[in-house]
Amino acid sequence: MAKGYCEKHTVKRTDRQSDKQRGSATERGYDYQWQQFRLRYLRRHPLCVRCEDHNRITPATMIHHKTALRDSGSKYDEVNLVALCFDCHEVVEGRKRTPGGM
């Protein structure tokens, strides 16, 4: 049995690098200092803002940069950050279709 979505519902990654080309999280700048910042940020912003907008309560596990670091987005500026759950982060990044009709 195939894993993931059928061909019709798979988000194409034509403009994205493969995971191997991206490098590790540390290589992309998510070092110990980032991990400590991330923990503090998620303590202050514990819920996914995208789910909250749809009247759902979901713990945030990811921090999304509104302007990507590769596009000169600020890594630690909270104006550039938003707390999301894993599923919403995947949707925002274009790796997954919108779950549950959101």
CA distance 95 to 9: 11
Q: Quote the pLDDT of residue 25.
A: 75
Tens-level pLDDT at each residue, the chain (102 residues) = 445 556 665 655 544 555 567 778 777 778 899 999 999 999 999 999 999 998 999 999 999 999 988 898 899 999 999 999 999 999 998 888 765 545
Q: What is the DSSP string of 31-60?
A: -HHHHHHHHHHHHHS-B-HHHHHTT---B-
Q: Quote the pLDDT of residue 87.
A: 93
CA distance 52 to 59: 10
Q: Quote the pLDDT of residue 47.
A: 98
